[in-house]
Amino acid sequence: MGRFASPEIMECSGLVVSRKNPGVLWVHNDSGDKARLFAVKEDGSLRGIFHLARADSKDWEDLALGPCRDPGKECLYVGDIGDNEKHRRKIQIYRVEEPTVPLDGPPVRRKLKGTERFDCTYPDGPHDAEALFVDPVAGIPYLITKERGDSAASVYRFPGTRSRKTVILEKVATLPSLSSVTGGDITQDGSMILLRDYFLAYGYFRPQGGGISEAFDVPPHRVLLGIEQQGESLGVAPSGTEIYTASE
């Protein structure tokens, strides 16, 4: 489709396809960058840089869309979930309402106010993770760990109720056929989850009337991706029939 035109997009690690702004992709850099999101067109041309107020950036790894706290609004969820050395006591997920992106004129630079921060911890010790998606029906975030070697990736989610300031994640599934998960997304209707590694995408189909975790009970459908140098991001178009990817 194109190449990122902005030299400030140096190491793309997360991507999600906007539903509010047709033809716009949201992306962000990997660790070492500021707490900011880039809005680009499908050809990679820059439309805006948006800084998240009161947010940090230790190791941003993925980006998702999902419901806001206010009904009828949609938010961007940013996963500061990378932990290569597995030493972080807490990871963070940020939520902010998706802004309108101007499709014409020079690229804009804005600050996004009203950013919410969720401190999270795993129930069984630190994990490295690079994939995040949000159930569009229940509004619950899911994280998928990235493992080394032959170790199986695991799926964690926000609990249904949260009574503590720090969110204690729940483990809901193990993925025996996957280890190096580098990105993921879910269709707008919640019927299919797509995860990726460096070479393939894996489609998990949610059973009719079933929950997200039940989708991982069945072996996935494999999708061959284009050849990329360290592909780490994936986003599903609103149509549910197109996949966008980007290399790091």
d(CA 36, CA 111): 9
> What mean pLDDT do residues 104-123 have?
96
- Stretch 130-153: mean pLDDT: 95
Sheet of 170-175: strands edge to edge? 129-134, 141-145, 153-157, 170-175
- Residue-wise pLDDT tens digits, 162-187: 657 899 999 999 999 899 999 999 99
> For 81-110, how does the pLDDT look when each residue is reduced to its tens digit (9 = 90+)?
999 999 999 999 999 999 999 999 999 999
Interval 13-62: pLDDT, tens: 999 999 999 999 999 999 999 999 999 999 999 999 999 999 999 999 99
Provide mean pLDDT across the span 206-214.
93
Tell me what pLDDT residue 163 has: 59
* pLDDT at residue 71, rounded to an integer: 86
**Residue 235 burial by Cβ neighbours in a 10 Å radius (0-12, 13-18, 19+):** buried
Residue-level pLDDT at 165: 87
> Do β-strands 116-121 and 167-168 pair in parallel, antiparallel, or remain unpaired?
parallel
